[in-house]
Amino acid sequence: MQNSALIEIEQELERLRAEGLYNNIRTIESPMDGHVQIHGRDLLNFCANNYLGLANHPRMRAAAQRGIDAYGVGPGAVRSIAGTTTLHVELEQKLATFKNAEACVTFQSGFAANLATIPALVGPGDVIFSDELNHASIIDGCRLSRATVVRYAHNSIDDLERAIAATTAYGRRLIITDGVFSMDGDIAPLDRIADVSDAHGILLMVDDAHGEGVLGRGGRGIVDHFGLHGRVHVEVGTLSKAFGVVGGLVAGSRVIVEWLRQRGRPFLFSSAMTAPDAAACIEGVQMLEESTELVERLWANAQTVRAGLQQMGFDTGHSATPIVPVMLGEATLAQAFSRRLFEEGVFAMAIGYPTVPMGKARVRVMNSAAHSSEDLERALDVFAQVGRELGVTG
């Protein structure tokens, strides 16, 4: 007899397919880079978070190989039992120095870093003030903590102040914001949020997944971008985007980092980052310490693409970073646009409801230092052609 739960789930899957919400997952047949191969075709890749082109960089590949030669492939244990190697310790020290933070601890992913941090800092009876557009991993971390969650309007200091004033019963308080918002590419006003945190004595946490390796001097992140060293208690980051590998980090207060090594559940109960990952991440930090060239190229590429799209008459929303949305409105138009781009050799994702509000569907252009100027020219030509064809631009 069929299990009734399985029948229900099958019906849910059917519903997703019928409503056009089913996630058809593309399979990449090449290394992650400025170009990728899909179905045997070479495509210009504007989908990845590989901001600096490190995912397939020869130095990163060589470092990962050395990591395997020295330590093997798997950690074999969680960090607190036997999973901490000298590579993990070195990476954490290097990241703390690079980011000018008191201390740093790494996790298996940015998602795991949020799930570790939020419930370790607050619990029942405490209050979290959370930007309404915060990432899913923050939302899940908040839920796990069982603290009261008060959402404030996106990037609104006034609404944050209002929410704080309206919340009179609490134990501990924590403000959490994304640093760069991944669907719009706008930056949180962290300097003003830090003023609010200082004024009310509230803990402050930023998730800088899309700012790590992108914002600040030589990619040191959002705290460096605003010169807020020592004023942001927790800076979550990821090693899976600009650093091109996989992993997460928490930099900031020494006390909090120490606490996370004692009470961060993914640190205690899920196996450590692998040796090749940790070794490649060490190399990535080293490369950013040696040169700002990749970060500069990323920003120059993003500027070329944003300005080019705007000149053609596209609406690029609130983008202030290498994430450039091309606002199209209806999900069907965004999907058709992305499909035509793909047919013309440009891979850029359509994003619609529920990831973004109804009527705000877009094609999201993720820029990278891995693109050459010829790549950018070719991509802009294709956008111009498809924009005219679908009546988006004149």
Ligand X SMILES: Cc1ncc(COP(=O)(O)O)c(C=O)c1O
Which residues here bind ligand X, judged by CB under 6 A? Answer: 109-111, 135, 137, 178, 182, 207, 209-210, 238, 240, 248
Contact 154, 204 (CB under 8 A): no
CB-count exposure of residue 132 (10 Å: 0-12, 13-18, 19+): exposed
Q: Are 212 and 221 in contact (CB under 8 A)?
A: yes
Catalytic residues: 182, 210, 241
Nearest to 224 by CA among 102, 101, 134, 109: 101
State the alpha helices, DSSP H only, in the chain: 4-18, 58-71, 86-98, 110-121, 136-145, 157-166, 190-200, 222-225, 254-263, 265-269, 275-290, 293-311, 331-343, 373-389
Q: How far is the CB of 136 from ligand X (least distance, A)?
A: 8
**193: which residues sit within 8 A by CB, 6+ positions away?**
157, 160, 175, 177, 204
From residue 85, give the alpha-carbon distance in Å to each of 150, 268, 278: 39, 15, 9
- Residue closer to ligand X, measured from CB, 178 or 277: 178
Minimal distance, residue 372 CB to ligand X, in Å = 26
Provide the minimum distance between the beta carbon of 364 and ligand X in the complex, in angstroms, as a whole number.
Answer: 12
Q: How far is the CB of 237 from ligand X (least distance, A)?
A: 9
Phi-psi region of 125 (alpha: psi -120 to 50; beta: other; left: phi over 0): left
177 or 335: whose CB is closer to ligand X?
177
CB of 249 or CB of 333, closer to ligand X: 249
Q: Closest residue to ligand X, Cβ-based? A: 110
User: Which is nearer to ligand X, 279 or 366 (by Cβ)?
Assistant: 366
Return all residues near 354 (Cβ < 8 A) that are at least 6 apart: 21
Cβ distance to ligand X smaller for residue 238 or 335: 238
- What's the closest the beta carbon of residue 362 comes to ligand X, in angstroms? 16
